[in-house]
Structure 1
């Protein structure tokens, strides 16, 4: 994904330096930086393509682009400049798909299956992250990878070919699935309510009941004057502004409380206990990915029974309690207060609880919440901006976590997470915007 084998492919040519205008500041970009810029830009332009050519055509388009960039990625003897631009276009494809797929799943899923299908997205993301780390992520030492997986270099082209085949199959499948009735019934340049009826019939295997009157009312509900570049319209309504701020804030907080930045601080608590467990190794990272997959699957089984709001509140409260417990453990060890040997397992247990709590609620529910808080008229643009905010948050956290780790004390960080968890619980209870129905129950 973000940190991938490309950095090792061109070790002496994988960076470029340019000077910012008006400031004279020199900036050095690596291959993963080009991917980061591309993924943010791809998420931003996804809303326009969704309005111009529809959901399934957009998916097929960016799948083809992703396949093309993967083919260039494994092509021997490529120049460094080509590798950098190729990594940017790869990011554009990934960013756009990460915004388009949740919208399509939200709009096309049956209301009884929607929550479960939306929670499949973080499962695939965690599996993909595990594969990327195992095959050759640049943040891990090569000897460790070689010890676990042998000669990693031989797997890189094979893994890229597998991803390309997957993207190609997804592009062909996108041509066979029905277009979203939300798009066909909306105010597009080729608006045709009859196409929306046919699409609904293909999807549900049942007739579009209600006749012309009901079909007309549904069309009016989601109609806007057709303008593929009307993204500023999302700010013209108070509810949409609230939904946009909520989505952007959710994505940022999701990364601030996430494992990428929390694990280094929690590792220091384990080191003080003399534990032999190290969280910042390849094996530990893969174990965390497995935990995320398992907890997301558990969330799929219980979400319809307990509800989304209750699951989110439970998740952030459990994260707050576990981080508070780690603060107590850290302070006791810092004051050199003797702790019974029988409690040496407690910090590791609290860290496990934190990871499980994050993985069962706050992390996987991000796509469920943000795909439904926007009204149907502005959903493509709202989800596009929110997804871009997600990737910008990932980019920000990855590149400041080392500085934060060195500048912020462990107990201060854990106290901040404790307080933030309590505030999030209050927010989810009282201030979360109403979620709009994403499936066509018509």
Structure 2
């Protein structure tokens, strides 16, 4: 199993880059705004442009992974991560920074599809949820590292260094690709059964290898032979699952997570916090978030996916109400600031325990093998589209309505998300990917 752990580590390393390159902008914007005197729209554009690239990366990452393999997409993403980080570090104005981070977004989008897909297809059924939560754990680690770098660089305003350091884990990922095999399910799909057996032999007990390989073959032989958008929409049971997947992806964004990821330093500073505290909060808040996602890894295969999403919808809504209602109702500065800090902690810890890891666990499980990459790509695009809308609109909405009204609105969205989970989301724990597919066919 030691080799299996190496597969999981390097397979999930793209999530560190995803977290770092999306999270670094929150602290960096404090310095960029001073250096370049950017307005609220330009601030939103710099923050959200990476998401445009991410949409494109997610759109093509899934189908390309189905065609050339999961490992090939990881290689392409690692190269783009490296070049995009360096280009962002040497940007000379708003236009060049937007261009660099848009290109960087191609890798972020590709990684958001391929990391959970790779982990789910490599992991044994009984720990699949736990392994898939590595994606969220390393995203949080990446965001925490970005917060730490911008905090340490605060005196010199070294936002260029913060961007450039994103190239370091990209190099580690490039090296790590040498240790990553293709997933057994993709190999079976391509008729390379002997290679699939070799991979299964590393990550499974010898006694179950042949049985699992036979199960993968049976489902593959029963699958619709064609793939892509036509099959996704023309096959009723696949279409139904795709709509659930897209709904989950959109629901995660409607909790308001990326209002927190991208704008926490700005939010705290607007409430009167010092720049040093606003940056340091992102560093210290990483600890409870990592603890929460590690707890999720321990319980997701026992408690199940839908209970965690249900509790998570309630907790994230409460966090948003704590952020928004005191300001909306005109509470004293002491109450408002206490509510903001409490709301941020409640929201981020709850999200890290529930919606953060569980979304990607479920998206990597519910789609059938022959369209898994394409379907995950579509669901991930939906996630990035709403991510983009949230991040671009937040500075404008806060300027127009005020912070209290905006965060209260996201609390109400959380109530709607709760209703969606209760009514439409199926449970997938304790079943192999092949069993899940067969159950959905019925």
**TM-score, with structure 1 as normaliser:** 0.74
Q: Return closer, same or farther for 1:287/1:242 CA change in 2, 3 Å cut-off.
A: farther
Shift of 1:420: 3.4
Q: Distance in 2 between matches of 1:97 and 1:308?
A: 22
Q: Is the 8 A contact 2:250 2:383 kept in 1?
A: yes
Q: Is the 8 A contact 2:185 2:216 kept in 1?
A: no
1:166 to 169, 172, 176: 172
Q: Does 1:236 align with 2:239?
A: no
Q: Does 1:295 align with 2:292?
A: yes
Q: How many residues of Structure 1 are paired with residues of Structure 2 in the alignment?
A: 406
State the match for 2:380 in structure 1: 387
2:258 to 242, 257, 260: 260
Q: Is the 8 A contact 1:107 1:440 kept in 2?
A: no
Q: Return closer, same or farther for 1:90/1:355 CA change in 2, 3 Å cut-off.
A: closer
State the match for 1:225 in structure 2: 225
Tell which structure's C-alpha radius of gyration is larger: 1
Q: Return closer, same or farther for 1:100/1:414 CA change in 2, 3 Å cut-off.
A: closer
State the match for 2:247 in structure 1: 249
Q: Is the 8 A contact 1:267 1:279 kept in 2?
A: no
Q: Secondary structure at the match of 2:398?
A: helix
Q: Return closer, same or farther for 1:84/1:285 CA change in 2, 3 Å cut-off.
A: closer
Q: Does 1:146 align with 2:154?
A: yes
Map 1:365-404 onto structure 2 (within 5 A): 365-404=358-397
Q: Distance in 2 between matches of 1:211 and 1:122?
A: 27
Shift of 1:113: 1.7
379-388 or 341-350, which deviates more:
341-350
349-358 or 424-433, which deviates more:
349-358
Q: Distance in 2 between matches of 1:245 and 1:279?
A: 44
284-293 or 97-106, which deviates more:
284-293
59-68 or 165-174, which deviates more:
59-68
Q: Distance in 2 between matches of 1:34 and 1:271?
A: 23
State the match for 1:24 in structure 2: none
State the match for 2:11 in structure 1: none
Q: Is the 8 A contact 1:123 1:293 kept in 2?
A: yes
Q: Return closer, same or farther for 1:395/1:320 CA change in 2, 3 Å cut-off.
A: closer
Q: Distance in 2 between matches of 1:106 and 1:331?
A: 43
Q: Secondary structure at the match of 1:113?
A: helix
53-62 or 348-357, which deviates more:
348-357
2:51 to 19, 36, 49: 36
Shift of 1:127: 2.0
Q: Is the 8 A contact 1:64 1:167 kept in 2?
A: no
Shift of 1:332: 6.1
Q: Return closer, same or farther for 1:196/1:278 CA change in 2, 3 Å cut-off.
A: same
Map 1:218-367 onto structure 2 (within 5 A): 218-221=219-222, 223-225=223-225, 230-261=228-259, 281-323=278-320, 329=326, 333=330, 348-367=341-360
Q: Secondary structure at the match of 1:45?
A: helix
Shift of 1:114: 1.4
Q: Distance in 1 between matches of 2:157 and 2:94?
A: 24
State the match for 2:199 in structure 1: 199
1:2-54 superposed Cα distances (whole Å, 9 cap, x missing partner): 4656996xx88x9xxxxxxxxxxxx9996666533322111111122112211
* Structure with the higher helix share, 1 or 2: 2
Q: Secondary structure at the match of 1:146?
A: coil
1:168-219 superposed Cα distances (whole Å, 9 cap, x missing partner): 2232223xx2x22221222x4xx34344334323432526335997675243
Q: Return closer, same or farther for 1:438/1:152 CA change in 2, 3 Å cut-off.
A: farther
1:131-167 superposed Cα distances (whole Å, 9 cap, x missing partner): 334445xxx9xxx9433xx563684486144233222
Q: Secondary structure at the match of 2:366?
A: coil
Q: Secondary structure at the match of 1:209?
A: helix
Q: Distance in 2 between matches of 1:431 and 1:54?
A: 31
**TM-score, with structure 2 as normaliser:** 0.74
State the match for 1:426 in structure 2: 419
Q: Is the 8 A contact 1:99 1:383 kept in 2?
A: yes
